[in-house]
Amino acid sequence: DSGVTQTPKHLITATGQRVTLRCSPRSGDLSVYWYQQSLDQGLQFLIHYYNGEERAKGNILERFSAQQFPDLHSELNLSSLELGDSALYFCASSATGNPPLHFGNGTRLTVT
Amino acid sequence: GQQLNQSPQSMFIQEGEDVSMNCTSSSIFNTWLWYKQDPGEGPVLLIALYKAGELTSNGRLTAQFGITRKDSFLNISASIPSDVGIYFCAGRSLSDSNYQLIWGAGTKLIIKP
């Protein structure tokens, strides 16, 4: 158990809809990273938050946004969903200055 | 997005065999990381490398940070059934002040029965 909790585990929705994915980092970790993993692909970095502040942005679409709350949990909002957004979305956390160490088990998003 | 060149894409091996996989990049990295992903789970960090030439072991796993800083390899000795899964390399470039890791596409390890 990595200590990182992601909800929901599965999400099926229609094109054009909006969804929110939630991540609770490992206790004590201030950094939260979001990744997208399409079928049989590596991970694409989306965004990194540290202690409530955005630290870095990767290949994140304008239709996607995220935030980290004072209790350190994070949410990834995906809007105007398209079929190509279907993927596994992972959250990872780490302590200061460390690489993403602890990954959640992901949210599998299916857009129909 | 940018990816590392990770090879091989998949490997079919017999239990007990040694395994070797590698990653190369056109950019210089200051960090190389190796993760393993089991089905239905998130990646787990196996080995982290921070210095060119560094050789680090974690049980039967050994990884090296290439001298050119553009490559890394992972070896698994005497493979066992629980080694099956997808192994990812990831790197952090010199210009990156955060951990915006660049990921390889993965090496799928399959053990022949």
Contact yes or no for B42 and A94 at CB 8 A: no
Contact yes or no for A42 and B31 at CB 8 A: no
Mind giving me the DSSP string for A31-89?
EEEEEEE-TT--EEEEEEEETTEEEEE-S--TTEEEEE-TTS-EEEEE-S--GGG-EEE
Residue A97 has pLDDT above 90, yes or no: no
Angstrom CA distances, B41 to A53, A104, B38, B55, stand at 27, 7, 6, 27
Radius of gyration of chain A (CA): 13
In sign, the C-alpha dihedral spanning A74, A89, A5, B10 is negative
Would you call B113 an interface residue with chain A, using a CB distance cutoff of 8 Å? Answer: no
At B88, is the pLDDT very low, low, confident or very high (cuts 50, 70, 90)?
very high
Residue A17 distance to chain B (closest CA, Å): 25
Q: What local confidence, expressed as pLDDT, does residue A39 receive?
A: 80
At B2, is the pLDDT very low, low, confident or very high (cuts 50, 70, 90)?
low
Residue B87 distance to chain A (closest CA, Å): 10
Mean pLDDT of chain A: 93
Residue B1 has pLDDT above 60, yes or no: no
Portion of chain B with pLDDT greater than 70, in percent: 95
At B101, is the pLDDT very low, low, confident or very high (cuts 50, 70, 90)?
confident
Interface test with A, best of B45, B96, B102 (most A CBs within 10 A): B45
CB A43 within 8 A of CB B103: yes
Contact yes or no for A42 and B3 at CB 8 A: yes
pLDDT in tens, A41-85: 788 999 999 999 999 898 899 999 999 999 999 999 999 999 999
Portion of chain A with pLDDT greater than 70, in percent: 98
Tokens 């959640």 correspond to: A104
